[in-house]
Structure 1
Amino acid sequence: MRWLAWHRLWAMLVKEFVQMRRDRVTFAMMLGVPLIQLVLFGFAINNDPKKLPAALVTTSEDQFTRAIVTALENTGYYRFTHILISAEKADLLIDNGTVSFVVTIPSDFARRVMTEERPQILIEADATDPSVASGAISTLSTVSANALRRELAATAGAGAVAGGGAALEAVVHRRYNPEGVTQFNIVPGLLGVILQMTMVMMTAMALTREVERGTMENLLALPATPLEIMLGKVLPFLVVGAGQVVVVLVAARVLFGVPMAGDMRLLLAGILIFVLALIFLGYTFSTLARTQMQAMQLSFFFFLPSILLSGFAFPFRGMPGWAQAIGEALPLTHFLRLVRGVMLKGADLHTVSSQIAALIGFAVLFAALALIRFRRTLD
């Protein structure tokens, strides 16, 4: 018998390609994952975010204030979306994450510039993600001072500049994470990533495991409704998720010193809703997959954009608009805002209400899809 016969080899190749064509999930993964990685890393990922939303707090509209605001916008980092608002409203905007910076210019700014009394401006930066604020803060002092000198030159003539002009002092206040500790941003986010990886994958294999083991018929013979079967399959994973939450939160506090500034009851309620949404999503995947391998592939196909577009690995506001729109449709995005807001900012229910509402919407949607798909499986 010959060790290698081309006709036998050709038959084996044809057989494998036929099986590959029939396994559409695996075939889609082979083509889809590289394409998604290419698009996301090539177009969506940006470690130096620009045009970050900012709020301006001032009661003055003199030429020096306008010069400072224009100079900040010209850097490309600042985009003033809220202008001439009160300090209380600006504080709320940075608390709920609507803006990344609050620029405060005092009412006597112009007088201090003209009398050379060392004028000051205050920049409050949301430093929950240190990488977002670092680039914008690094260009702050130089750009603002140069803009002020140019405005002085245009107002008082070259003699004012030759005399030195006013020395601008830009006071930077990094809120929520003054020391810029990266772990304060990463560790709370890891809670969401770990829960997503385990909850979705384990529940995604809930039904496919029954099919592969040949016990699906016994399950269908039980005098139980589809809702009862679904809840019976997914609720035990809540216990597993609870254990993971305890481990991560204890490690975050003891090992990394992450502050727990907010109400833990609000945090735990948000975690429960998030876990339920993930469990129902994984169960939906289990009704779509034929094998446990396909269930794992579907889970991985969901993990990749979630981790890259949620704001966990890369700054959310550094991504283009279309990538942010996709990120808004992912549960992990809203959970990260919730957990970082409560743990680092001490956010209350009113501040994170939109994130809670989004997670509840995901949970209801995924539960409905899982139940509909399971009914079709029974039929």
Structure 2
Amino acid sequence: MWERIYRMLVKEFIQVLRDPRMKALIFVMPVIQLIMFGYAVTTDVDHIKTAVCDLDKSPQSRALIERFTASGYFTVVDNTNEPERLGELLDRGKATIGIQINHGFADDLKSGRQAVIQTIIDGTDSNTGTVAMDYAQRITQEFSRTRVMSGELIQLALPQADPIELRARAWFNPDLKSRYYNVPGVIAVVVLLISLLLTAMAIVREREIGTMEQLMVTPIRPFELIVGKTLPFVLISFIDVLVVTFIGINWFNVPIQGSLGLLLLGSGLYLMSTIGIGLFISTISQTQQQALMSSFFFYLPAVLLSGFMFPISNMPEPAQWLTYLNPLRYFLVIIRDIFLKGSGLEILWPQFAALAVLGTTLLLISSLRFQKRMV
């Protein structure tokens, strides 16, 4: 039995490595996707396009504008003396935020009156708009606090300091870099896509060129054929896991705090599920085009219902129930917690158990259906 499986394994590797498209899918596509998505998928907001209308032209107003630009969050793209131009720049998409400092700004500061500056924010992208507003408020408050401490402003005329001081510290990701959170998620998504397409399309391709019928008339048993067909994709997908993990750690400088061995164990259970789904897709597809469309029919909802882009807790309750059938949901928790928190099996065992049950069930159902198609 093992000799037949071994020869089947060798045949699959030779067949895959002879196909230029398969080699590109295995070795090139994961790297390109990880690098592309690793840079593109970010929630960090910086270099916000800013238009400034400084009507006061005072040292104080210039110091405030310099505080905005020095923060690194804002990039001044236009300086104007016409307040109407701020709205025009936002309308054309040339600026995300407009800052207007009116006449008398410096005089109000010196006399202890409340000085008002106006910010106009493009709310089309609510996330960027909200973050820009928060940055602007923090910079303005820090500017006022610095002036009070230096004695340039009259402290009694300003709002008193809060009686409670909040000192916040972020664990696991002290600098709150979104890349540390997103890159492990991108790794999981890339592995899902590659293993899904690789399994579904390779098996359907054999059916298209007629070699599957030749295998059916050989002495090999159905179980041996299934193992011989799926095991190469498991090994190849493992190589992809190692490659994209290496790139995530060394290219994007995302530290891994936990055990690499535990991550590989979780990856193995995850691949059981994804390859089981790919095998099932191959049993319902007659052509590679059908397999490709069916793979994306599963892939897109799986990503949306995994917590990769949107928190599961914010989803409607029926959608939350559906996420329990999604292997990506569990692997995202595993890979992010191992990368960022260094969590061990004592914490992640529910996700490991869920992937084991889900993977075994999917492989069993897919194998039975694949075996039925062979009869």
Task: Give the superposition deviation at 1:258.
Answer: 0.9
Q: AA paired with 2:267?
A: I
Give TM-score, length-normalised by structure 1: 0.55
Distance between the aligned counterparts of 2:339 and 2:354, measured in 1? 19
Root mean square deviation of aligned Cα: 2.5
2:272, 2:360 within 8 Å by CA — same for their partners in 1? no
Q: Which residue is equivalent to 2:313?
A: 317
Distance between the aligned counterparts of 1:166 and 1:208, measured in 2? 67
Distance between the aligned counterparts of 2:339 and 2:162, measured in 1? 41
Written as runs of structure 1 = structure 2, the 5 A alignment for 1:59-98 is none
Cα distance, 1:173–1:320 mapped onto 2, change above 3 Å: farther
Q: AA paired with 1:190?
A: V
Cα distance, 1:165–1:237 mapped onto 2, change above 3 Å: closer
Q: Higher mean Cα deviation, 366-375 or 239-248?
A: 239-248
Distance between the aligned counterparts of 2:161 and 2:306, measured in 1? 46
Distance between the aligned counterparts of 1:328 and 1:176, measured in 2? 26
Residues 336-371 of structure 1: CA deviation (Å, up to 9, x unaligned): 000001110110101000000011011101111111
Question: Given the alignment of the two structures, is residue 371 of structure 1 paired with residue 371 of structure 2, yes or no?
Answer: no
Distance between the aligned counterparts of 1:185 and 1:317, measured in 2? 18
Equivalent in 218, 231, 234 of residue 235 of structure 1 = 231
1:261, 1:346 within 8 Å by CA — same for their partners in 2? yes
Question: Given the alignment of the two structures, is residue 273 of structure 1 paired with residue 269 of structure 2, yes or no?
Answer: yes
Question: Given the alignment of the two structures, is residue 247 of structure 1 paired with residue 216 of structure 2, yes or no?
Answer: no
1:206, 1:233 within 8 Å by CA — same for their partners in 2? no
Written as runs of structure 1 = structure 2, the 5 A alignment for 1:295-334 is 295-334=291-330
Q: Which residue is equivalent to 1:73?
A: none
Give TM-score, length-normalised by structure 2: 0.56
Task: Give the superposition deviation at 1:166.
Answer: 7.2
Equivalent in 201, 219, 222 of residue 226 of structure 1 = 222
Q: Which residue is equivalent to 1:355?
A: 351
Q: Which residue is equivalent to 1:34?
A: none
1:206, 1:283 within 8 Å by CA — same for their partners in 2? no
Q: AA paired with 1:257?
A: N
Aligned residues: 225
Distance between the aligned counterparts of 2:293 and 2:211, measured in 1? 22
Distance between the aligned counterparts of 1:195 and 1:328, measured in 2? 19
Distance between the aligned counterparts of 1:256 and 1:305, measured in 2? 27
Written as runs of structure 1 = structure 2, the 5 A alignment for 1:64-143 is none
Distance between the aligned counterparts of 1:376 and 1:238, measured in 2? 22
Cα distance, 1:178–1:321 mapped onto 2, change above 3 Å: farther
Cα distance, 1:333–1:165 mapped onto 2, change above 3 Å: same
Distance between the aligned counterparts of 2:267 and 2:235, measured in 1? 13
Residues 266-298 of structure 1: CA deviation (Å, up to 9, x unaligned): 111101111122112101110111111111111
Cα distance, 1:206–1:262 mapped onto 2, change above 3 Å: same
Is there any run of 5+ residues in structure 2 with no aligned partner, and where? 1-42, 44-126, 139-159
Written as runs of structure 1 = structure 2, the 5 A alignment for 1:3-18 is none
Identity %: 35
Distance between the aligned counterparts of 1:375 and 1:247, measured in 2? 33
Question: Given the alignment of the two structures, is residue 344 of structure 1 paired with residue 340 of structure 2, yes or no?
Answer: yes
2:270, 2:355 within 8 Å by CA — same for their partners in 1? yes
Is there any run of 5+ residues in structure 1 with no aligned partner, and where? 1-46, 48-130, 143-163
Cα distance, 1:168–1:376 mapped onto 2, change above 3 Å: same
Cα distance, 1:321–1:171 mapped onto 2, change above 3 Å: farther
Task: Give the superposition deviation at 1:215.
Answer: 1.9
Cα distance, 1:342–1:168 mapped onto 2, change above 3 Å: same
Distance between the aligned counterparts of 2:297 and 2:264, measured in 1? 28
Q: For 1:169, what is the secondary structure of its paired residue?
A: coil
Residues 225-251 of structure 1: CA deviation (Å, up to 9, x unaligned): 211111111111123212212221111
Q: AA paired with 2:206?
A: E
Distance between the aligned counterparts of 2:206 and 2:259, measured in 1? 41
Written as runs of structure 1 = structure 2, the 5 A alignment for 1:150-299 is 167-299=163-295
Cα distance, 1:321–1:169 mapped onto 2, change above 3 Å: farther
Distance between the aligned counterparts of 2:170 and 2:161, measured in 1? 28
Cα distance, 1:169–1:244 mapped onto 2, change above 3 Å: same
Residues 15-56 of structure 1: CA deviation (Å, up to 9, x unaligned): xxxxxxxxxxxxxxxxxxxxxxxxxxxxxxxx9xxxxxxxxx
